[in-house]
C-alpha cells in the first residue's frame, strides 16, 4: 500500500522562517492561501494585477506580481490554470528561482507530460487536493479537512518531503490524510476520471433519459427520478460514508432485489466499456492527450468552445433548467 500521511507526520515548524508565494488567487489559490495563513504560515500572493489580485488585497494579503512574489519566496505554490502555467513558469517563475526553493504543484499534469521542467537546483513536489477550491476552505473551517495526493518529484535539499508535508498540513489536508503518489500517476488518475469514468457514466445517464422520454414519461419527472431529486447523489454520499455494499441496506428490499438480480444483464457491456476505457488510458499515458490540449492551441480551445455551444442547445439543457426552476433546486431556486 502507498504511504499515507496524517497530521502527526507533518511539522509546520519547517516553514517557520520561510515565505510561501501563492501564485494565483482563484479556486485553489484563495482557499489554500486563507488556510495557510490560519495555520500561521508567512505568505505573499503573486498575481497579475487585476481582479484576483484585488480580491487577495481585500482579504488582507500582501500582493505582488508573479515574478516579484517568486523572487521573495522560499516556497512557490503554482495555483493558476494548467494550460497557461508553462508560459508563466518560463517568463515569471523560473528566472526567479534560486537553489533551495521548493516549487509545489496542485496537479501533476505539467510535470508528468514534460510541459514544465524545473531547474535541478530546486525541490519539486505535488500537493494535489481531492477537493474543489471552495471545499478546501469550507472543510478547513469545519475541521474535517480533505484528502490529497502528494509526492516528492525532486529533492535537491533533503527537505522536500518535510516541507511538502508541512504545506499539506497547513492547507488542512493531513487531517483527512494524504497518499503518496508520483506526478504521472496523479495526472493519469485525474484525467482518466474526467475522460473515461465521467463520460461513460454520462452516456448511461443520457441513454436512460432518452429511453424514458421516448417511452412517453414527462422529461421533468425523468430528470427528477434520475438525478435532480438528489436521491442518487445521496446514495453516492452514503457509499462514501458507510461503504459501497453497506449503503445498499438503506434501500427498500424491492429496490435491492431488483438491482442485484438485474445487474447481470448489463455485464455483457463490461468488455466494450473496458476496451474504450483502455484506449482513453493509453491516450493519456502516452502523452497524446496532453499534446493535443497543451501543444495544439488554439485549435483545441476552438473545438472546446464549439462543443460547449452545441451542448447548451441540447433539449436536456432546457428540461433541466425548467425542472430546477419549478422545484427551486440549486441556483434556480
CB 139 within 8 A of CB 38: no
Q: Which residues does residue 123 pair with via DSSP β-bridges, in sequence order?
A: 102
Task: Decide: is 172 part of the binding site for ligand NDP (CB under 6 A).
Answer: no
Q: Which is nearest to 128 in space by CA: 14, 59, 28, 259?
A: 28
Is residue 171 involved in binding ligand NDP (CB under 6 A)? no
Q: Under DSSP, is residue 182 helix (H, G, I), strand (E, B) or coil?
A: coil
CB of 144 to ligand NDP, least distance (A): 17
Q: Shortest Cβ contact with ligand NDP: which residue? A: 26
- Residue corresponding to grid cell 445521496: 234
Interacting residue with ligand NDP among 118, 129, 145, 151 (CB under 6 A): 129
Are the CB atoms for 224 and 326 separated by under 8 Å?
A: no
> What is the spatial distance between Cα 275 and Cα 278, in angstroms, rounded to a whole number?
5
Beta-bridge partners for 22: 45, 77
CB of 77 to ligand NDP, least distance (A): 9
Contact between 24 and ligand NDP by CB under 6 A: the answer reads yes
Applying CB under 6 A, among 133, 177, 219, 287 the residue interacting with ligand NDP is 133
Count of residues of this chain found to bind ligand NDP when the rule CB under 6 A is applied = 24
- Is residue 50 near ligand NDP by the rule CB under 6 A? yes
Window contacting ligand NDP (CB under 6 A); options: 1-9, 25-33, 199-207, 208-216: 25-33
Task: For the CB of residue 8, give the shortest distance to ligand NDP in the complex, in Å.
Answer: 24
Tell me whether strands 178-180 and 148-154 are parallel, antiparallel or unpaired.
Answer: parallel
Q: How far, in Å, CA of 195 to CA of 197, rounded?
A: 6
Q: Which of 18, 27, 157, 159 binds ligand NDP (CB under 6 A)?
A: 27
Q: How far is CA 154 from the centre of its chain?
A: 22
Binding to ligand NDP (CB under 6 A) within 54-113 occurs at: 79-82, 84, 88, 106-107
Q: Which residue ranges make up the site for ligand NDP (CB under 6 A)?
A: 24-29, 47-48, 50-53, 79-82, 84, 88, 106-107, 128-129, 132-133
Amino acid at each position: 500500500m502507498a504511504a499515507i500521511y496524517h497530521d502527526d507526520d507533518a511539522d509546520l515548524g519547517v516553514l517557520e522562517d520561510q515565505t510561501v508565494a501563492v501564485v494565483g488567487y482563484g479556486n485553489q489559490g484563495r482557499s489554500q492561501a486563507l488556510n495557510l495563513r490560519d495555520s500561521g504560515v508567512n505568505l505573499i500572493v503573486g498575481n497579475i494585477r487585476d481582479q484576483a489580485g484585488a480580491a487577495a488585497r481585500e482579504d488582507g494579503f500582501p500582493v505582488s506580481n508573479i515574478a516579484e512574489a517568486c523572487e521573495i519566496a522560499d516556497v512557490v505554490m503554482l495555483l493558476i490554470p494548467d494550460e497557461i502555467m508553462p508560459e508563466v513558469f518560463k517568463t515569471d517563475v523560473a528566472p526567479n528561482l534560486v537553489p533551495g526553493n521548493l516549487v509545489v504543484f496542485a496537479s501533476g499534469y505539467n510535470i508528468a507530460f514534460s510541459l514544465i521542467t524545473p531547474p535541478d537546483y530546486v525541490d519539486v513536489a505535488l500537493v494535489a487536493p481531492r477537493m474543489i477550491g471552495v471545499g478546501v476552505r469550507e472543510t478547513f473551517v469545519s475541521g474535517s479537512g480533505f484528502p490529497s495526493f502528494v509526492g516528492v518529484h525532486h529533492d535537491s535539499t533533503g527537505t522536500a518531503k518535510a516541507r511538502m508535508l508541512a504545506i499539506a498540513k497547513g492547507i488542512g489536508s493531513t487531517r483527512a490524510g494524504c497518499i503518496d503518489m508520483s506526478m504521472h500517476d496523479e495526472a493519469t488518475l485525474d484525467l482518466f476520471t474526467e475522460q473515461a469514468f465521467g463520460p461513460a457514466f454520462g452516456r448511461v445517464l443520457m441513454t436512460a433519459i432518452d429511453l424514458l422520454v421516448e417511452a412517453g414519461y414527462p422529461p421533468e419527472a425523468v430528470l427528477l427520478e434520475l438525478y435532480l431529486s438528489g436521491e442518487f447523489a445521496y446514495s453516492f454520499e452514503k457509499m462514501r460514508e458507510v461503504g459501497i455494499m453497506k449503503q445498499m441496506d438503506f434501500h427498500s428490499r424491492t429496490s435491492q432485489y431488483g438491482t442485484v438480480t438485474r445487474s447481470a444483464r448489463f455485464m455483457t457491456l463490461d468488455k466494450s466499456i473496458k476496451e474504450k476505457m483502455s484506449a482513453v488510458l493509453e491516450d493519456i499515458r502516452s502523452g497524446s492527450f496532453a499534446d493535443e490540449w497543451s501543444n495544439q492551441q488554439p485549435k483545441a480551445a476552438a473545438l472546446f468552445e464549439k462543443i460547449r455551444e452545441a451542448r447548451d442547445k441540447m433539449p436536456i439543457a432546457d428540461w433541466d433548467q425548467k425542472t430546477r426552476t419549478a422545484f427551486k433546486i440549486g441556483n434556480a431556486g
